[in-house]
């Protein structure tokens, strides 16, 4: 906001410079002048872009606190005339109730984190620090899901879960989300374990520690950043995943947040969708993801980079 207030005065200089010269030959301008002009142009584009990107989110949050009357206004209001938690109240009581759906979403996410870490931390340790027979074959097998998209595997997984009585259970959904998340996490973990200096490990082995003690005392503290990254991605994947949850959780009381919201959109379509309530749900779904991202931005970006650039 402050940038906006200060800008117009300086902008004059910028537009003056732009008017005064032949635009097609900016490259030939004296460096300082050209750089000054570009700087403000870039600044203006940045502000414009940020505004556009934020607008849908801001509008949704504002829509979620509209009163029932404001939500039904035609043409729709940008800014509510007053603050109201009606929409949140309706969402709280919708079907099995918001607390149940939040519990499902958080439950699946926490189980996914637990499963992923329990599998991936030892696997990364084993692959990075031991002469495991057929190591590279195993590693490629672990990355298998990168080649076969999980969307294509849902039918056989559903049949298997039906046999194992895992449909409509958080454990089942978490297993699916773990399978989705596993290749990326193994990759990150192996790299991170490999980066731990030999000397640290050797000192611990000299002291007579077993491989398990060395893992707990030496390695786990050294790979905390990778653990944070894996946890973060496991949470976001599980919290946001839609198709798998739609297929595996068929009973309404076992829906996760995105699935119940999608159902609410079509179910109320006859009497008109309750958009206020939906935007309240959207707001609640967005908050944890954005909060985690802003808090742990460093881990998020580094995870993305090491996961994507191999």
Partner 1 sequence: MYATRRHKLTGLLYVAPALLFVLVFTAYPFMQMVWMSLNNWSLITPPRFVGLDNYTRMAADKQFWVSFGYSLKYTILITPILMIGGYLVALLTSTNTPLRRFTRTVVFVPVVIGLGVSSLLWSWLFNPIFGLFNRFLGELGLIDQPVVWLGTDEGVSTWAIILSVVWKVLGFGMILFVAAIQAIPAEITEAAMVDGASYRQRVTRVILPLTLRTVLLVTLISIIGSMLAFDQFYIMTAGQPFNQTATAVFYVYLNSFPYLKLGYGAALSLVLAALLLVFTIVQLALSRRSNA
Q: Is 12 in the site for partner 1 (CB under 8 A)?
A: no
Per CB under 8 A, contacts with partner 1 among 281-310 are 281-282, 285-286, 289-290, 292-294, 297, 300-301, 304-305, 308-309
Binding mask 81-110 for partner 1 (x = CB under 8 A): ------------------------------
DSSP letters spanning 21-65: S-GGGGGGS-HHHHHHHHHHHHHHHHHHHHHHHHHHHHHHHHHHT
Integer Cα distance of 184 and 41 in angstroms: 39
30 belongs to the binding site for partner 1 (CB under 8 A)? no
Q: How many CA atoms lie within 13 A of 169 on its CB side?
A: 11
Q: What is the per-residue binding string for partner 1 in 242-281, x denoting contact by CB under 8 A?
A: xx--xx---------xxx-xx--xx------x-x--xx-x
Give the range of 7-15, 16-24, 85-93, 142-150 binding partner 1 by CB under 8 A. 142-150
Query: What is the C-alpha to C-alpha distance for residues 54 and 37, in angstroms, rounded to an integer?
Result: 26
> Of the listed pieces 8-16, 93-101, 152-160, 220-228, which binds partner 1 according to CB under 8 A?
152-160
The encoded tokens of residue 50 equal 């940020």
One residue of 14, 65, 98, 120 binding partner 1 per CB under 8 A: 120
CB of 96 to partner 1, least distance (A): 18
Number of residues located near partner 1, criterion CB under 8 A: 98
Cα-to-chain-centroid distance, residue 164: 30
What x-and-dash track marks residues 67-86 binding partner 1 by CB under 8 A?
----xx-xxx-x--------
Cis peptide before 49 (omega within 30 of 0): no
Radius of gyration of the chain (CA): 26
Token pair of 277 as six digits:
């309530």
Minimum CB separation of residue 253 from partner 1 in Å reads: 19
């Amino acid at each position: 906001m402050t940038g906006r207030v200060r800008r117009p005065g300086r902008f004059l200089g910028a537009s003056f410079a732009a008017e005064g010269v032949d635009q097609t030959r900016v490259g030939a301008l004296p460096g300082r002048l050209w750089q000054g002009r570009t700087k403000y142009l870039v600044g203006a584009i940045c502000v414009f872009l940020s505004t556009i990107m934020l607008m849908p989110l801001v509008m949704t949050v504002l829509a979620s606190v509209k009163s029932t009357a404001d939500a039904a206004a035609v043409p729709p209001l940008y800014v509510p005339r007053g603050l109201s938690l009606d929409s949140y109240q309706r969402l709280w009581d919708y079907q099995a109730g918001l607390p149940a759906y939040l519990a499902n979403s958080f439950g699946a996410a926490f189980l996914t984190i637990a499963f992923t870490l329990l599998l991936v931390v030892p696997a990364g340790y084993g692959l990075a620090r031991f002469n495991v027979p057929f190591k590279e074959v195993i590693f490629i097998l672990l990355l298998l899901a990168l080649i076969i998209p999980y969307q294509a595997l849902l039918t056989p997984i559903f049949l298997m879960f039906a046999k194992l009585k895992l449909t409509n259970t958080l454990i089942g959904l978490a297993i699916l989300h773990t399978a989705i998340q596993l290749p990326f996490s193994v990759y990150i973990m192996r790299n991170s374990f490999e980066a731990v200096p030999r000397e640290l490990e050797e000192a611990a082995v000299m002291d007579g520690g077993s491989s398990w003690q060395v893992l707990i005392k030496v390695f786990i503290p050294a790979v905390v950043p990778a653990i944070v990254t894996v946890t973060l991605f496991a949470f976001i994947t599980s919290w946001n995943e839609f198709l798998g949850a739609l297929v595996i959780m068929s009973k309404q009381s076992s829906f996760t947040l995105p699935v119940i919201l999608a159902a609410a959109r079509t179910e109320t379509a006859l009497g008109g969708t309750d958009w206020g309530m939906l935007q309240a749900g959207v707001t609640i779904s967005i908050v944890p993801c954005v909060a985690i991202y802003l808090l742990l931005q460093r881990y998020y970006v580094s995870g993305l980079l090491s996961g994507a650039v191999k």
